Each structure stands twice: as C-alpha cells, then as structure tokens.
C-alpha cells in the first residue's frame, strides 16, 4: 500500500487522524497568511511584528506565536483582531478535503495578497456590481453570474446593503 493510500485509510477510519491532519494544515497556512499580509501591508506599513501588535491590540509575543507554524492555538477573537488590523476579511468555511489540499498546494507567499478594505471599491460601493456586471472584485467571488454558493449578484449587493441594518450595530461603528 502506498504512503498516500495509507494516509487516506487513516483519515477514513479515524476521527483523531482527521483532526490532526486538518490542524496541521491550518497551523501552517494561517501563520503564513498572517506573516505575508503583514509584510506586504503598506497602509499602514507593518514591517515589524510590533506594528501588527499595535494595530491589532495584541502583544508582540502573540503575533510572533501566530506567525510561527504550530506555535499557538488562535481564537476567533484573535483572528478577527488581526484581520481588522490588516484591513481584510476572513472566510472560514467547511470544504471537501480535496479543496483544502488544492488550496494548500497552490498557496505561495510570493503571490498571496488580499485587497485591503480601503481599496475594495465593490465593497465600498456595491452598486458598482450592477453597473460593471463583475463580482470578481468582491474578494474571491467568481466573475460568473453565480458564485460557488449559488448567490446571485443582486443578492450579494443586498448583503452589502444589509450592513446598514446589521443586528449588532456597535460592531460596525453605528
């Protein structure tokens, strides 16, 4: 039996093996994304971990741990603070193992970057989707009439407009 076949067999049979496998992937990919986005940040520049620490209201030692694969378990709160400091969003979604492996295999710090909030014209002006007919700039949504969840462009616009009626108004500064 090949090494890959043995790994698949373990994953099929064991909850603990699946948990360890997923955790191993996340403990590499999340730190790599944080470090990459921090070092590519220009507004504000975050050359040093202390810069991200200041922006995220976290200690520099925590940022160091978060950028080191496997060094820390991150909470949703910490991830949200880091994303907000980097001026990007976060999507956590459940996917088939093949999608997870494909994303990991294609990840490269050299090419990875995320449009920052202040540059995200379609988030800032969702009516532009209807004008341009292009939802691609919405941060990973496909440019076809429907994205992978089947959400139509007009529904995307409605979601962005719903920020005005978000149930936790204090979360967006209203």
Q: pLDDT tens digit string along 8-43?
A: 999 999 999 999 999 999 999 999 999 999 999 999
What's this model's pTM, rounded to 2 decimal places? 0.74
Q: Answer whether 99's CB lies under 8 Å from 105's CB.
A: no
Distances (CA, A) of 7 to 26, 106, 148: 18, 21, 29
pLDDT at 130 over 90: no
Percent of the chain whose pLDDT exceeds 90: 67
Domains, the chain:
1-104 (1.10.260.40), 120-174 (no CATH)
pLDDT at 131 over 80: no
Q: What is the pLDDT of residue 122?
A: 86
The more confident residue out of 164 and 6 is 6
Q: What is the pLDDT of residue 141?
A: 43
Q: What is the pLDDT of residue 66?
A: 97
pLDDT at 159 over 80: no
Q: What is the pLDDT of residue 102?
A: 93
Q: Which ranges in the chain belong to alpha helices (H)?
A: 3-13, 15-40, 49-56, 60-66, 76-86, 97-106, 121-124, 127-132, 153-161
The more confident residue out of 127 and 132 is 127
Q: pLDDT tens digit string along 53-96?
A: 999 999 999 999 999 999 999 999 999 999 999 999 999 999 99
């Amino acid at each position: 039996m090949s090494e890959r076949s043995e790994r698949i067999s373990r994953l099929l049979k064991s909850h603990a093996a699946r948990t360890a496998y997923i955790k191993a992937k996340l403990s590499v990919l999340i730190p790599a994304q944080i470090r990459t986005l921090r070092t590519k940040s220009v507004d504000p520049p975050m050359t040093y971990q202390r810069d991200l620490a200041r922006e995220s209201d976290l200690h520099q030692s925590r940022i160091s741990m978060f950028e080191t694969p496997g060094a820390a378990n991150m909470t949703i709160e910490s991830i949200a603070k880091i994303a907000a400091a980097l001026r990007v969003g976060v999507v956590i979604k459940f996917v088939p193992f093949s999608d997870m492996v494909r994303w990991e295999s294609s990840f490269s710090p050299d090419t990875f970057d995320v449009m920052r909030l202040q540059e995200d014209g379609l988030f800032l002006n969702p009516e532009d989707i209807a004008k341009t007919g292009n939802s691609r700039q919405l941060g990973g949504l496909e440019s076809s009439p429907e994205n992978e969840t089947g959400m139509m462009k007009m529904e995307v616009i409605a979601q962005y407009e719903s920020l005005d009626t978000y149930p936790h108004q204090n979360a967006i500064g209203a």
